[in-house]
Amino acid sequence: MSKRNIAILGSTGSIGTQALRVIEENPTLFKAVVLTAQSNADLLISQAIKYQPAYVVIGDTSKYNSVKSALSLYNIAVLSGLDALCDVVQLDEVDIVLTALVGSAGLKPTLAAITAGKDIALANKETLVVAGELVNAMAKKHGVKILPVDSEHSAIFQCLVGEENNPVEKIYITASGGPFRGKTSEYLSTVTKIDALKHPNWVMGAKITIDSATLMNKGLEVIEAKWLFDLDISQIDVIVHPQSIIHSIVQFEDGSMKAQMGLPDMKLPIQYALAYPERLKNDFPRFDFIKYPELTFEKPDTVTFRNLAFAFEALKVGGNMPCVINAANEVAVAEFLNNRLGFLQMSEVIENCMTKISFLNNPNLEDYLETDKETRVYARELVTNYKY
């Protein structure tokens, strides 16, 4: 394969830092030409000095001068703000854009990259949750490939290679169950963010780790899968698999099933997306069957962990409802991490927003953005009424 120039949106986060390790291990195949961060200026500066991209973007404009000054001796253009983020992904020297931003902030830059004909390595599931129909239409119009980076969707994508003419009967998205698998509502009413951030299998950023604890992450993945693989809601199921070895399963109409397996290591799906359709040799740890004598499966508890049920309901309703639950969840998680909301209260905020925010059946981009804004305002108002 020829060398590919990568723009990493969110290079200081969990996915971004692991992507840089993949790039570092394959210097003849990949080059990081754009690095961006929202507010972690210190790490962004360190990354820029080490990897020497052509451009860096700091989203927080108040930190622009400090980044600019720190990199003044290097041949690196320093930019700031959302408009700059949308501009750099369209540069001629960029071959593929890895969107690893947190939350709905990834929507506009992803759309900008698609408009410029750039292939997308998608780690920002919220982009498809918020505006999946719009994103898919634009990707088709501009001939852009959307390559999933989430381990579950990468697994489905890998299982479908070579199966283009074989209809899918069902997909099973696996979930670890998070740190509170099997716990009751009474137990969850007193858990803290310290408890919720202790994921049993994966090392991830704070927001996605909390989403995993509430099962909202799995709900967002259900919505993302619908758009990535053109599925009906009846074709998508979630199954709890505590060992996190089988990342997802595809069942075809003849009843046969294909699963993608491996140790829980995000560098593998990142590498697969960046190198697709090739598989690159690496020295990542290998799975040992003897160390995993049992692989077990359970039905998710959507009565206790209501966020997963909310996601299925939002997908069923359609329109701007997935956008509503995503925005409400982002606010709720941020408030929980700031010790202003209890664990179970996050679901209450989301449920309230689903009933109160204006429903739109056929939203356009401006409608999505307005829904996102309206939901966040209402969700924050709800939080002020809670006592925690």
Token code pair at residue 263: 């140790």
Residue 71 vs residues 48, 64, 296: alpha-carbon distances, Å: 8, 11, 50
List Cβ neighbours of 152 (8 Å cut-off, separation of 6 or more).
Answer: 173, 174, 221, 225, 247, 248
Q: Three-state SS for 168?
A: strand
What angle do the packed helices 343-356 and 321-337 form, to 10 degrees? 150
Task: Determine how β-strand 246-252 pairs with β-strand 257-261.
Answer: antiparallel
Number of domains forming the structure of the chain: 3
- Looking at the structure, do residues 223 and 74 belong to the same domain, yes or no? no
Give the DSSP letter of residue 200: S
Same domain, 161 and 303: yes
Same-domain pairing of 240 and 98: no
Mark which of 130, 148, 166 sits at the end of a domain. 148
Pairwise CA distance, residues 140 & 351, whole Å? 34
Contact of 232 with 173, CB cutoff 8 Å = no
Give me the half-sphere count of Cα atoms (radius 13 Å) on the Cβ side of residue 70: 17
pTM for the structure as a whole: 0.93
Instruction: Render 180-199 in DSSP notation, one character per residue.
Output: TTT--HHHHTT--HHHHT--
Q: How many CB atoms lie within 10 A of CB 316?
A: 10
Spell 340-379 as b/e; 16+ CB within 10 A means b: ebbbbbbbebbbbbbeebeebeebeeebbbbbbebbbebb
Query: What string of pLDDT tens digits covers the 388 residues of the chain?
Result: 799 999 999 999 999 999 999 999 999 999 999 999 999 999 999 999 999 999 999 999 999 999 999 999 999 999 999 999 999 999 999 999 999 997 778 899 999 999 999 999 999 888 999 999 999 999 999 999 999 999 999 999 999 999 999 999 999 999 999 999 999 999 999 999 999 998 877 777 889 899 999 999 999 999 999 999 999 999 999 999 999 999 999 999 999 999 999 999 999 999 999 999 999 999 999 999 999 999 999 999 999 999 999 999 999 999 999 999 999 999 999 999 999 999 999 999 999 999 999 999 999 999 999 999 999 999 999 999 876 6
Query: Domain for residue 112, yes or no?
Result: yes
* Structure letter (DSSP) for residue 9: E
Report pLDDT digits (tens) over 112-156. Answer: 999 999 999 999 888 999 999 999 999 999 999 999 999 999 999
CA distance from start to end of the chain: 55
Give Cα 24 distance to the centre of its chain.
22
Full domain range(s) for residue 134? 4-148
Whether 284 maps to a domain, the answer reads no
pLDDT digits (tens, 9 = 90+) for 230-253: 999 999 999 999 999 999 999 999
Residue 103 and residue 234 in one domain: no
Could you tell me if residue 281 is inside a domain? Answer: no
Tell me whether residue 79 is in a domain.
yes
Of 148, 166, 195, the position where a domain reaches its end is 148
**Same-domain check for residues 9 and 85:** yes
The pair phi, psi for residue 335, each rounded to 5°, is: -70, -35
From 148, 182, 216, the end of a domain falls on 148
- Please, are residues 344 and 384 in contact by the beta-carbon 8 Å criterion? no
228 shares a domain with 96: no
Residue 144 counted as domain residue:
yes
- Return all residues near 185 (Cβ < 8 A) that are at least 6 apart: 304, 344
User: What is the domain-level CATH number for residue 109?
Assistant: 3.40.50.720
